[in-house]
Structure 1
Amino acid sequence: MSRLKAAIIGGGNIADTNHIPALKQLSEQVEIVAVCSRDFSKARALADKHGIAHAFGETAELYRQCTPNLVVICTPNNLHYPQTMEALENSCHVFCEKPPAVKAQNARDMADLANKKGVVLAYNFQLRQASEFALLMRCKADGLLGDIYHIKANFLRRRGIPGWGYFTNKAMQGGGALIDLGVHVLDLALYALGYPTPEQVIANTYDFIGKAGGKGLMGTWDPATFEVEDAATAYLSFPNKASIMLSASFALNMQAEKDRNLDIFGSKGGAKLFPFTLHTELAGELADIQFPFLEETDIQLKNTSAFLDACLGKPSNVCTGEQGAILQEIVERIYQSSTR
């Protein structure tokens, strides 16, 4: 079987430390043929660092010269849509960084075009590959949880407003803590429920700390140019009465430095994800069961492998274009609700 030819679009840290190393570990299936960035010097430097033959400053030239089979998109959020659409038009499979886009209709258009072209569109929600989440899904399949009816999903930082990049620029990112952090745990919660669409969304967003300034644990930020939410909360209600309570923050006055977790409540049992604990009844008594021997896993490598499986028509749990469209619609509804 001939190897897939992969191109990287984006010359930043996420390509350098996440996607390129993972693809290189899967070199029997895929070969990285090019890096493309609007800043050609970044593309050339990244290609040279990783021994990749070609570097481009324009995507049109990339497609003309290299004709890749798949494209990995590692650029700011506002570029996901145009760059994904261009890759799909060139009949490439696409592995796009999260979030899918900045607008729900963009994500829907991307999913529809991938369908039309018969190629794979997937998003890099790599927490799906955590050993704890895999165990949760096995517990669900084995009936240990019964019917899951409520999930509490948190991705919180006490003072974690990024002091670099474009994270506080609304035009480029589409939002703040929700679209950068909250989408990770929202994806897990939706996947555990079978990826339904909510009937009702009630939400609030906040920017008190971001606009006031203060001590930062991830660099300093300029309050005068802080344009996004530093925290968001949302309640999602689904047709079968299931619900999700979602909280995300760059900055929140709380005790812990950070909190990334899911609490799952089912009719027969419940669970907490990180570290995994099963809350159940055993021998007529209440019991909390822990799993101290879960193996650590390289979640980026596993998610990249899941994407390649999807490209090859194999079973895969990578986040699909359709799921990405549902998630982006929910994100948009959360932002709309918060401005009511």
Structure 2
Amino acid sequence: MTTKKHFRVALIGAGHIAKQNHLPALRALADRAEVVAICGREATRTHHFAQEQNIPAAFTSLESMLADAQPDILVNCTANNLHYPFTMEALKKGCHVFCEKPPAIWAKEAQEMADLATHQGVFLGYNFQRRQSAAYRLLQKQIVEGTFGEIYHIKADYLRRSGIPGWGNFTNKTIQGGGALIDLGVHLLDLALGLIGYEPPKAVLANTYDHIGKRGGKGLRGSWDGSHFEVEDACFAHINFPSRASVTLSSSFALHRKEAETVQLQIFGTKAGATLYPLEIFTESAGEHMNLQFPHLTEPDHQLENTRAFLDACEGLPSNICNGQQGALLQSILEKIYASAQEN
């Protein structure tokens, strides 16, 4: 039996994502990964975080952490505009990198990251945890088995009625790169692309809006200042692919609608269709309509499974995780969506 490698792991970004997502998953995989250091902007806060989380070393410089702690893996939990510089620095030092989504601010950056990882012979992966849901994995298997025939359209929705974040940098374009699309819609776009083979697009048509955001106010996720609202509160895009498949993607922080939140993927194929949440397949049998349900699916811890998948990929094992090249393609589509919206 082959023994799996034990990795030394360092994190950059001593905040909520590191504490609530990555550290619990890494600790659950302690036989494969050891957290050796944390890096943050503020010395006092970072040292307190390290003590609270029993992390051996704390740094305020990534360069110093990479040199002194000598990790095999860097987990990048920083703001969107810092994904590129910190990931590039770690890749240059020969570290595998597990980066939060989105890949970067610009497509060029994401491609540089992917190319450098390939050149260095290390793995770059992105933390799209929804890939690890039991329903999505089963849907992938059904596609491979030919249940759907040819998938020709996917409708992807991540919509909130009143969900503009009243904290953090979510409305700052320089730091975030965008709003509802880059924060919410990107998750569903990754899933949709995964079902049609991550094909580069042929054409993209999109619109973005900021009517509610610019107004300012109070919602279900706090209050925000409309005078400092720099991103879109809603985005609607249609993406065509050379295979003639298409994806419509809708995402919103705020939208005048009945439901508080909708997260849904609808798949349309030549032999069957499906919804993902919950997984239900619509097809025909003996000339009659038939709906297939899966009431006994048990959902795993998505973050834990995505971390496990990342470690597998670092060892060259089969893995269902968003890799560097897929991340670069995803970022290029995001950029095309924003560019199209600017023209319309």
Pick the aligned partner of 1:295 from 289, 298, 319.
298
Matches within 5 A, 1:25-64: 25-64=28-67
Query: Contact 2:152/2:245 (CA < 8 Å) preserved in 1?
Result: yes
| CA distance in structure 2 between the aligned counterparts of 1:321 and 1:309, rounded to whole angstroms | 15
Matches within 5 A, 1:81-100: 81-100=84-103
| CA distance in structure 1 between the aligned counterparts of 2:45 and 2:20, rounded to whole angstroms | 14
Q: What amino acid does structure 1 have at the position aligned with 2:122?
A: V
| CA distance in structure 1 between the aligned counterparts of 2:301 and 2:90, rounded to whole angstroms | 27
Q: What is the match of residue 79 of structure 2? A: 76
| CA distance in structure 2 between the aligned counterparts of 1:210 and 1:96, rounded to whole angstroms | 28
Q: What is the match of residue 314 of structure 2? A: 311
Shift of 1:287: 1.2
Q: What is the match of residue 163 of structure 2? A: 160
| CA distance in structure 1 between the aligned counterparts of 2:183 and 2:218, rounded to whole angstroms | 20
Larger deviation: 32-41 or 228-237? 32-41
Pick the aligned partner of 2:285 from 279, 282, 286.
282
Number of residue pairs matched by the alignment:
340
Shift of 1:60: 1.1
Return the TM-score normalized by structure 1: 0.99
Q: What amino acid does structure 2 have at the position aligned with 1:31?
A: E
Q: What is the match of residue 149 of structure 1? A: 152
Query: Contact 1:152/1:264 (CA < 8 Å) preserved in 2?
Result: yes
Shift of 1:12: 0.8
Shift of 1:63: 1.1
Q: What amino acid does structure 1 have at the position aligned with 2:62?
A: T
SS of the residue aligned with 1:314? coil
Gap runs ≥5 in structure 1: none
Shift of 1:288: 1.4
Confirm whether residue 333 of structure 1 aligns to residue 340 of structure 2: no
| CA distance in structure 1 between the aligned counterparts of 2:290 and 2:45, rounded to whole angstroms | 54
| CA distance in structure 1 between the aligned counterparts of 2:159 and 2:329, rounded to whole angstroms | 23
Shift of 1:216: 0.4
Q: CA deviation digits over 1:314-336, x for unaligned, max 9? A: 10011000000000000000000
Shift of 1:46: 2.0
Identical residues among aligned pairs (%): 54
Confirm whether residue 322 of structure 1 aligns to residue 328 of structure 2: no
Query: Contact 1:12/1:42 (CA < 8 Å) preserved in 2?
Result: no
Confirm whether residue 217 of structure 1 aligns to residue 220 of structure 2: yes
Q: What is the match of residue 205 of structure 1? A: 208
Query: Contact 2:218/2:224 (CA < 8 Å) preserved in 1?
Result: no
Shift of 1:283: 2.8
SS of the residue aligned with 2:224? coil
Q: CA deviation digits over 1:237-276, x for unaligned, max 9? A: 0111100000010001111000011000000001000011
Shift of 1:164: 0.6
Query: Contact 1:144/1:268 (CA < 8 Å) preserved in 2?
Result: yes
SS of the residue aligned with 1:215? strand
Q: What is the match of residue 194 of structure 1? A: 197
Shift of 1:44: 1.5
SS of the residue aligned with 1:302? helix
Pick the aligned partner of 1:104 from 101, 107, 128.
107
Return the TM-score normalized by structure 2: 0.98
Q: What amino acid does structure 2 have at the position aligned with 1:44?
A: H
Confirm whether residue 182 of structure 1 aligns to residue 199 of structure 2: no
| CA distance in structure 2 between the aligned counterparts of 1:164 and 1:91, rounded to whole angstroms | 35
Query: Contact 1:162/1:218 (CA < 8 Å) preserved in 2?
Result: yes
Alignment RMSD: 0.8
| CA distance in structure 2 between the aligned counterparts of 1:138 and 1:44, rounded to whole angstroms | 45
SS of the residue aligned with 1:280? strand
Matches within 5 A, 1:242-257: 242-257=245-260
Query: Contact 1:72/1:94 (CA < 8 Å) preserved in 2?
Result: yes
Q: What is the match of residue 175 of structure 2? A: 172
Pick the aligned partner of 1:269 from 272, 285, 288.
272
